[in-house]
A and B are shown apart, each in its own frame.
Chain A
Amino acid sequence: MKTHVIFAVSVVVLILAFVVGSSYYKGKQAEKIGFLAQEDAELFVREHSQTLGSDDAKVYLIEFMDPACETCAAFLTKFASVFF
């Protein structure tokens, strides 16, 4: 029946529009957020900062550390092997 075909095609088109639309939108959002992170990277990564690993890594793990902080010392004593 031709009517069934028209209806079925419409349902498929609607679902497709939703799926395509959402992946497009999510892609745009990811771009935006990724870009923002790059811009703010300067705030956290200074010229004099110690770095380990490639500068082009996809993920930056930034350590906030105070040499006079007892908690930092305790933490690093236990977990240094995980990071370094």
Chain B
Amino acid sequence: MTDFNKKPAGWNILFLCWLVAGISTTGSLFFSYVMEFAPCVLCWYQRIFLFPLVLILAVGLFPLDKKVVKYALPLAVAGWLTAAYHNLLYAGIIPESIQPCSQGVSCTEEYIDLFGFLSIPMLSLLSFTTIITLLIILYRRIF
């Protein structure tokens, strides 16, 4: 007899993926609303790619839908590219003269510096990397 209460294959991986997106979103909102760090332009773009993932991945969990990878991956990759660019700018590898932040908060504003290397842009990059990795693992598992 089939056990209807058993978790479908890959559910845990997708859940973990959603959790990463959820924690990152919560953290981002905490930074901007509670600690009152104003987001710069690049931060806004990364948020645009990150926040929908919380909803899309959640929808893909009930019931587990393989196609969620197809819808989530473009957002995650776009977010990753923006975060990578932001980190290069933050590190000074890309000169500020060609960066898009002309008005408002500077994209190289140093808000936090944990353990000597974790800045907010770095946290964002790590988050997107984790999400993409988990989505790829999920894809290989269930396709």
A residues near B (Cβ < 8 Å) are: 1-4, 6-7, 10-11, 14, 17-18, 21-22, 25-26
CB pair A1–B5 under 8 Å, yes or no, is: yes
B62 within 8 A of partner (CB) = yes
Contacts of B58 in A (CB 8 A): 7
Complex contact B34–A7 (CB within 8 A): no
Q: What's the nearest-Cβ distance from chain B to residue A39, in Å?
A: 23
Q: Count of chain B residues with Cβ under 8 Å from any Cβ of A?
A: 16
The answer on a CB contact under 8 Å between B35 and A3 is no
For residue A17, which residues in chain B have a CB less than 8 angstroms away from its CB? Answer: 26
Contact A22 B7 (CB under 8 A): no
Task: Give the dominant DSSP class at B's interface.
Answer: helix
Query: Is B61 part of the binding interface, using a Cβ–Cβ cutoff of 8 Å?
Result: yes
Q: B19: CB under 8 A from chain A?
A: yes
Task: Check A6 against B15 for contact (C-beta < 8 Å).
Answer: yes
Q: Is the CB of A7 within 8 A of B26?
A: no
Say yes or no: A25 contacts B35, CB within 8 Å.
Answer: yes
Is B30 among interface residues, defined by CB-CB distance under 8 A?
Answer: yes
CB-CB under 8 A for A10 and B22, given A2-B7, A3-B7, A3-B62: yes
Chain A residues within an 8 Å CB radius of B35: 25
Chain B residue with the shortest CB-CB distance to A7: B61
Residue in chain B with minimal CB distance to A15: B26
CA distance A37 to B19 in the complex (A): 42
Assess the A25–B34 pair: CB atoms within 8 A: yes
Q: Using known A-B contacts A2-B7, A6-B15, A26-B34, determine if residue A14 contacts B26 with beta carbons closer than 8 Å.
A: yes
A3, B58: Cα distance in complex, Å: 11
In the assembled complex, the CB of A51 is this many whole angstroms from the nearest CB of chain B, namely: 35
